[in-house]
Amino acid sequence: MAPVFYLFPAFYLINSTNAQGPPSLGYSPSSRVSSVTFNQGFRNLWGTQHQRLDQGSLTIWLDKSSGSGFKSLQPYWSGYFGAAMKLQPGYTAGVITSFYLSNNEDHPGNHDEIDIEFLGTTPDKPYTLQTNVFFVDDVPIRMYTKKTDATFPTRPMWVYGSIWDASSWATENGRYKADYSYQPFVAKYANFKLDGCTTNGPASCIPPPASPSGSGSLSQQQVMAMNWVQRNYLVYDYCQDPKRDHTQTPEC
């Protein structure tokens, strides 16, 4: 079974100045995936005292003493994973709220990772969504470089979520830091989606299809929606960054 990972947030971030909005996806794997409660699919990883469960949803927060993180109960070869995330308004510079796939604990220093990270901001600016969704796009917003054919992406990954202080780089390259006079910084996760092929599952397992055709490719309508978002909201493409050494980015 070829490894295929889909990691999508359960909502759009729409700029209020653009009244038209993105075109419809037409189809989303989420329509075929039932929600699970936090305890059905996840466990605390760190910062237990900074987590609170409420009817299957999860609230985590960051203050000067600690942030918090959670992890799926099982690793996955492939699948569809999602969550509805509510971010804190106001001053959140330096704070990162994330939902991602990784095998860093199993392969430290040589791991694979697929991120959705919301970079905190100042009150006059919107959040920045930083991601490396590269299985559905020829020109990704961000991608971790492939190490070797033997290590990527054939190794299973776990699903994580966290809130933490990344003041050194998260907001305008570290210009604005986390200001703990605004603490706690709170994030809420709900409507968890976990549907995939676990490492102890049958070899015949098939993850939810990415498109209505059942293939691993996006439909024309999905591609149009993705291109619309890139045209209107893409603020950085490292493949177009002249300051980078592109001999180290063969995927570009």
Q: How far apart are CA 7 and CA 132, in angstroms?
A: 10
Confirm whether 172 is a catalytic residue: no
Q: How far apart are CA 227 and CA 204, in angstroms?
A: 34
Catalytic pick from 105, 117, 172, 251? 117
Confirm whether 117 is a catalytic residue: yes
Query: 206 to each of 35, 121, 135, 170, 198, how far by Cα in Å?
Result: 18, 39, 17, 37, 11
Catalytic pick from 105, 113, 172, 251? 113
- Is residue 94 within 8 A of residue 77, CB to CB? The reply is no
> Catalytic positions, please?
113, 117
